[in-house]
Amino acid sequence: MPPDSQEAVDWLSVLGLLRYASPRRLTHVPVALTPYCAPQHLLKTVTALSSPFQLLMHRVADDWAFLEDTLGTAARHDDFLQRLFGFRLRENSQPWRLLISRNDFFVVPEGAGLGLRQVEFNTISASFPHLAERLFRFHQLLYRNQPDRLSVLLPNDPLTPISTGIAEAVQVHGASNGVVLMIVQPAESNRLDQRGLEQRLLQQHGLSTVRATLADVAVQGKLRDGTLRLGGERVAVVYYRAGYTPSDFVHPDAGAGRRLLEASDAIQIPDLAMQLAGMKKVQQRLTSLEVLTRFVSESQAAELLEVCAEMHSLDADSKDAEFALAEASKHPERFVLKPQREGGGHNVYGAEIVKLLAEMPPEERSGWVLMERLHPVPHDAVLLMDHQSQSLRCVSELGRYGVLLAKGNEVRLNKDAGYLVRTKGAEVDEGGVSAGYACLNSLVRER
């Protein structure tokens, strides 16, 4: 029997699993009342992949020539990508890099069994680490009187390794009384997730957090000899929970704010190169053994390729493009068309792929990649949205958080940092929680 909806909403409220429905109204976040069960061997695999993928992305971000070669053509026809490239400074005064990532996967049929396929590797604004921990507590409360369910619920606390990573970054930066600057959007509905990290940084590490938009930084920030101060506070670490979408740069001062941050000695999460490394074009190129072995050993490359989905370039000079376009025209249901965007709601599916590609000038196709459409294994779940619960046939996306702190070949920290599960109706294409497509969930292990 599914849990009572009102009881569930009560516990969600007690635990702070809330979001802003409007500037003055809070509501509970959409959640699954039934945790997701994934095969134990796949859970071990996805956890073990965190560190190798993070090290790969660190090496990719260190290779500016590769980023330019991969994204240069797309940037000529994509104003947002072009803007990001324009923020690059030839001399970077901060050699340390902190990555807070989330590597997202589907469990899919594979041969006679099940396997993993990577959906994407998120290098900027990997959201919900606080709410993911709260959701584990929620499911503990929900099933407190059902020992058989409670015993298989997998603990989850992404904030501990994430906050520890930020604290270590402040330490290696060396600023006395340095603060964490969190770059946020002006009307952020998910700011309670962000506040949870602020609370953890203060309570466990004695670190203060300053919140500001990119435009605020331009107006209030003061830069002297690489030292950035905001409101009189010395900024040691900049954590981007904004700056990944064109709408973040609508304000005329936003670009100036990002340039000020790039010119500072603050450690950025992520720095510009790592943000670019998270683009879909880079993911597509990394599905090639030849490209992967530029950054990792052949044996490591083979291991990573086992979970990579099939992806195709649409660059006009690509040998793959003609085949990919023909296949997409004949069988659009087999593909997803993806732009160089984060935040959910940007992908194109089915017949819309054919229409968009037909209307798009050939040179603009370089800003998109064609990815095989994954068919995750469906399961039954009970979803709670807007105080109403519903039993549905669903699919779930499994993400692993990770934290890496490194400077060139010196890797100070590289570890897995917990999980995020998002569950949605099997017929829903997109998967973002904040965008309204999916529900947060927890994991249970196989009995």
Check if 342 is active-site. Answer: yes
Check if 122 is active-site. Answer: yes
Q: State the Cα angle at 355 between 349 and 358, rounded to 5°.
A: 125
Report yes or no: 96 and 168 within 8 Å, Cβ to Cβ.
Answer: no
Beta strands 439-441 and 410-425 are antiparallel
Q: How far is the C-alpha of 158 from the C-alpha of 416, rounded, in Å?
A: 9
| Catalytic option among 19, 97, 102, 137 | 102
| Catalytic option among 122, 163, 190, 441 | 122
Q: How far is the C-alpha of 97 from the C-alpha of 230, rounded, in Å?
A: 21
Supply the angle between the helices 64-75 and 50-61 in degrees, to the nearest 10.
Answer: 80
Torsion angles phi and psi, residue 166, rounded to 5: -65, -40
Check if 422 is active-site. Answer: yes
Check if 338 is active-site. Answer: yes
Check if 102 is active-site. Answer: yes
Q: What are the residues whose beta carbons fall under 8 Å from the beta carbon of 35, sequence distance 6 or more?
A: 139, 149, 153, 421, 441, 442, 443, 444
Q: What are the residues whose beta carbons fall under 8 Å from the beta carbon of 151, sequence distance 6 or more?
A: none
Beta strands 227-230 and 233-240 are antiparallel
* Residue 36 Cα distances to 139, 228, 437, angstroms: 11, 44, 17
| Catalytic option among 50, 342, 396, 399 | 342
| Catalytic option among 343, 344, 350, 432 | 343
| Catalytic option among 137, 200, 285, 338 | 338
Check if 415 is active-site. Answer: no
* Residue 145 Cα distances to 12, 151, 293, 384, 441, angstroms: 17, 11, 51, 20, 19
Check if 120 is active-site. Answer: yes
Report yes or no: 375 and 114 within 8 Å, Cβ to Cβ.
Answer: no
| Catalytic option among 101, 125, 127, 190 | 127
Q: How far is the C-alpha of 305 from the C-alpha of 310, rounded, in Å?
A: 10
| Catalytic option among 16, 120, 198, 243 | 120
Q: Which residues are catalytic?
A: 102, 120, 122, 127, 280, 338, 342-343, 422
